[in-house]
């Protein structure tokens, strides 16, 4: 399988499994990835999703360049279903464990996650400009919303890679760990989030998107409405009871 999926304790893990080709995404892999993301979105047992790449060299280098010419024309390529769009549409939190190259569509895939952790061997590049085009999976909007303007411009206009320490400096990733510690670090973050009430976690994710895309006052009002929804859930009542009874809460997502 070139796209693998497993679930443990409320944490789903998608692994791009084509390490010999640096986890470049074929059209078949893209279809599998889209189907998996849709499946995850409808599964109440999955509270957090981790996405990573197989092998120690690459998270993903994006679309397999050898398949680009299989599209009859650029318009058909433009109208393909994009796996980055599907990932960003998920209501549940997404953690990217970037274990190596995150180039082209791989960078876009990482940027489509809510939290990014990187191996010290990771590197990031908007490399499409070196081949005569630019990214189309949201890289300009996502990168410019994530890192300082000059860093975004440097990456988009040169296509040159930045290493993990530079990515951390500019805020592209939250943590950098040794390669053999990456999946444990990602699992720990995911398990922590999975232990939180699912409705509140999904609401917090929605609020972050609102904060980036709405005006400030509208975003604050949206947050207030989402807070009211959360306060009316059984999980919120359970949280208050558990606090009063000095015990760990048990959240059901209701």
Question: Which member of 4, 76, 108, 245 is catalytic?
Answer: 108
Annotated active-site residue 238? The verdict is no
Question: Which member of 38, 76, 128, 238 is catalytic?
Answer: 128
Q: What is the pLDDT of residue 126?
A: 97
Annotated active-site residue 128? The verdict is yes
For the chain, give every domain's residue range: 3-194, 198-245
Q: What is the pLDDT of residue 1?
A: 87
Q: What is the pLDDT of residue 83?
A: 85
Instruction: Give the CATH architecture of domain 3-194.
Output: Alpha-Beta Complex (3.90)
Report mean pLDDT in 10-residue bins for the chain, 254 residues.
Answer: 94 96 92 91 95 95 82 76 88 97 96 98 96 91 96 97 98 98 98 96 96 94 95 95 94 92
Q: What is the pLDDT of residue 69?
A: 75
In this structure, the strands spanning 123-125 and 162-163 are: antiparallel
pTM for the predicted model, two decimal places: 0.93
SS3 per-residue string spanning the chain = CCEEEEEECCEEEEEECCHHHCCCECHHHHHHHHHHHHHHHCCCCCCEEEEEECCCCEEECCECHHHHCCCCCHHHHHCCCCHHHHHHHCCCCEEEEECCEEECHHHHHHHCCCEEEEECCCEEECHHHHHCCCCCCCHHHHHHCCCCHHHHHHHHHHCCCEEHHHHHHCCCCCEEECHHHHHHHHHHHHHHHHCCCHHHHHHHHHHHHHHHHCCHHHHHHHHHHHHHHHHCCHHHHHHHHHHHHCCCCCCCCC
What Cα–Cα distance (Å) separates residue 112 from each residue in 45, 133, 140, 222?
A: 22, 20, 12, 22
Q: What is the pLDDT of residue 73?
A: 79
Of 115, 94, 112, the residue nearest 48 (C-alpha): 94
Contacts of 228 (CB under 8 A, 6+ apart): none
Directed axis angle between helix 216-231 and helix 198-213, to 10°? Answer: 170
């Amino acid at each position: 399988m070139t796209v693998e999926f497993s679930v443990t304790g409320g944490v789903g893990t998608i692994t791009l499994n084509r390490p010999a080709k640096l986890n470049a995404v074929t059209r078949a892999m893209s279809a599998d990835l889209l189907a998996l993301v849709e499946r995850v979105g409808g599964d109440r047992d999955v509270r957090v999703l981790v996405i990573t790449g197989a092998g120690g060299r690459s998270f993903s280098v994006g679309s397999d360049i050898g398949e680009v010419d299989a599209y009859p024309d650029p318009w058909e390529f433009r109208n393909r279903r994009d796996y980055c769009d599907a990932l960003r549409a998920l209501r549940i939190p997404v953690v990217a464990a970037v274990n190596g190259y995150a180039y082209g569509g791989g960078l876009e895939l990482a940027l489509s996650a809510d939290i990014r952790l990187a191996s010290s061997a990771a590197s990031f590049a908007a490399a499409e400009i070196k081949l005569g085009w630019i990214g189309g999976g949201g890289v300009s909007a996502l990168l410019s919303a994530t890192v300082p303007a000059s860093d975004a411009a440097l990456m988009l206009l040169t296509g040159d890679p930045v290493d993990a320490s530079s990515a951390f400096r500019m805020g592209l990733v939250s943590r950098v760990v040794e390669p053999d510690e990456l999946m444990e670090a990602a699992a720990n973050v995911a398990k922590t989030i999975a232990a939180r009430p699912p409705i509140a976690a999904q609401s917090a994710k929605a609020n972050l998107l609102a904060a980036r895309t709405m005006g400030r006052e509208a975003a604050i009002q949206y947050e207030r409405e989402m807070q009211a929804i959360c306060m009316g859930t059984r999980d919120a009542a359970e949280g208050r009871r558990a606090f009063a009874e000095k015990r760990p809460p048990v959240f059901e997502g209701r």
